[in-house]
């Protein structure tokens, strides 16, 4: 991998490191090392990086801010590309904004609200990146990314990029075409935001943030909602009805605030969390005959 690191360094693609601990890059603070870890400094750098890695037949994984990820303690073999600094550009053109895939969603929501642009208030408490939000069609409070996205600039595994329209993204509940094979990753997105009343937007965001603070354990290491809601049911409510809040396996615990959150309570391992996920799934299936589908992206070799 040193040869690849040197080749990437010569192209000045951004930060490159070997055996990078991925627990530093996930909000649940779990994850072993990546063989090679790259934080590109531009979209062109991403293309260069992918070309070099593909030429050497090195597997590639792309991550954002790690808020919806559960990575094995064994880490990830091959390369991990993180959309972060260098991928956080923001260009405003009236009610349309073009924003890099590495831009923090909470920060974007806050900035736009202060400018009186409405449509992103729902995202004021979602601790992910723009790219990850597009990938997952992140949403809350009755809205989601699919309602404001005009088009997305997508990187495909073969290194090519293409703009996809909202319709082509095939958004549905917490899903997009990017989750299908071959997977794609959002390097930048164009959103349409409406003009709104700054004070009304501020109040709405304050209300949403207060609700999240009261009902979700974002002050503890966690990976967000573990399961997709099996509509019309809600995963958290099913877990709570079974009396499972506070249930622990190893260092992993079902949040006492919200049944659809698992927190890293005491040096939890990947195995601890997976056993707790499977315990929940089996309990819900046995009692309600409902099969829960994970929303968190699970990465293991």
Please tell me which residue in 174, 183, 202, 228 is annotated as part of the active site: 174
143-150's contacts with Cβ under 8 Å and 24+ in sequence apart are 143/119, 144/171, 145/171, 146/171, 146/176, 147/119, 148/119, 148/120, 148/191, 148/192, 148/193, 149/189, 149/190, 149/191, 150/96, 150/190, 150/191, 150/192
Cα–Cα dist 236/294, whole Å = 12
Please tell me which residue in 45, 113, 129, 225 is annotated as part of the active site: 225
Cα–Cα dist 262/266, whole Å = 12
Rg of the chain over all Cα atoms, to the nearest angstrom: 19
Does residue 174 carry a catalytic annotation? yes
Q: CA of 21: how far to CAs of 76, 139, 151, 285, 297, in Å?
A: 10, 29, 33, 35, 18
Does residue 61 carry a catalytic annotation? no
Q: Read out DSSP for 246-283?
A: T-EETTEEE-SS-TT-EEE-SS--HHHHHHHHHHHHHH
Does residue 295 carry a catalytic annotation? yes
Catalogue the active-site residues.
174, 225, 295
């Amino acid at each position: 991998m040193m040869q690849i690191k040197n080749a990437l360094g010569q192209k000045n693609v951004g930060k490159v490191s070997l055996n990078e601990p991925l627990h530093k890059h996930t909000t649940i603070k779990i994850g072993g090392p990546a063989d090679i870890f790259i934080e590109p400094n531009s979209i062109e750098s991403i293309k260069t990086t992918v070309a070099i890695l593909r030429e050497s037949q090195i597997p590639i994984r792309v991550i954002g801010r790690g808020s919806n990820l559960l990575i094995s303690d064994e880490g990830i073999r091959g390369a991990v590309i993180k959309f972060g600094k260098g991928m956080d550009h923001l260009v405003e053109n009236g009610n349309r904004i073009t924003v890099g895939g590495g831009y923090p969603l909470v920060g974007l929501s806050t900035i736009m609200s202060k400018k009186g642009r409405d449509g992103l208030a729902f995202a004021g408490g979602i601790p992910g990146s723009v790219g990850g939000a597009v990938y997952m069609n992140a949403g809350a409070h009755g809205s989601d990314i699919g309602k404001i996205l005009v088009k997305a600039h997508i990187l495909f595994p073969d290194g090519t990029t293409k703009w996809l329209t909202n319709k082509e993204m095939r958004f549905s509940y917490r899903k997009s075409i990017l989750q299908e094979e071959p997977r794609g990753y959002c390097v930048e997105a164009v959103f349409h935001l409406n003009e709104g009343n700054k004070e009304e937007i501020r109040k709405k965001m304050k209300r949403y943030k207060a609700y999240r603070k009261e009902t979700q354990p974002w002050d503890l290491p966690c990976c967000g909602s573990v399961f997709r809601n099996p509509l019309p049911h809600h995963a958290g409510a099913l877990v709570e009805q079974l009396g499972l809040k506070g249930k622990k396996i190893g260092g992993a615990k079902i949040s006492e605030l919200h049944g659809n959150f698992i927190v890293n309570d005491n040096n939890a391992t990947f195995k601890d969390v997976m056993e707790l996920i499977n315990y929940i799934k089996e309990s819900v299936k046995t009692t309600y005959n409902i099969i829960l589908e994970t929303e968190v992206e699970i990465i293991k070799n």
